[in-house]
Amino acid sequence: MASNKICIVVVSGTRERLQMAGMMASVGAVSGNDVTVFLSMNALNQFLKDPPKQVPSEGDMGTLLAEKNVPPFRQLFQQAAELGEAKIHPCSMAMDVMAVEPADLVSYLGQPLGLTKFLIDAADAQVWSF
């Protein structure tokens, strides 16, 4: 039987990967799955209250996403948290390295989480990485 638990690791800061992770989180959460998102590495700075102005694209699809009226990835993650009750956690190590405080991050993120705890929680889940 497939697990109804979805764990998503997001380490890329590119538009395409952030968009796909946001879609997985929001659709998974509003479909009744138990969704946990772990934001680390290059993805974390996109969830600062004052994020970088440009989100880099990997290719043509990223450019199209920017040009078309596609719901932005931050909106998708926020919907996952607010409508589907997804748990979205910043990586505690990445926060330390980047000197980011919890108050610097968007309000819908949960408490910082370490990789060890995330892996324990993900043991019986579908795990996706972006």
Phi, psi of 69 (to 5 degrees): -90, 60
Q: What is the mean pLDDT of residues 54-70?
A: 90
- SS3 assignment, position 58: coil
Q: Are 8 and 37 in contact (CB under 8 A)?
A: yes
Total of domains in the chain? 1
Q: CATH number of the domain that 121 lies in? A: 3.40.1260.10
- Which residue shows structure tokens 């892996």? 119
* pLDDT score, position 2: 59
* pLDDT score, position 113: 97
- Whether 123 has a pLDDT exceeding 90, the answer reads yes
Q: State the pTM of this model.
A: 0.94
- Whether 14 has a pLDDT exceeding 70, the answer reads yes
Tell me the per-residue pLDDT of 79-115, one tens digit each, with 9 for 90 and over.
999 999 999 999 999 999 999 999 999 999 999 999 9
Q: Are 75 and 51 in contact (CB under 8 A)?
A: no
Tell me the per-residue pLDDT of 34-60, one tens digit each, with 9 for 90 and over.
999 999 999 999 999 999 888 999 999
* pLDDT score, position 66: 85
Q: Are 105 and 45 in contact (CB under 8 A)?
A: no
Q: What is the domain extent for residue 64?
A: 5-129
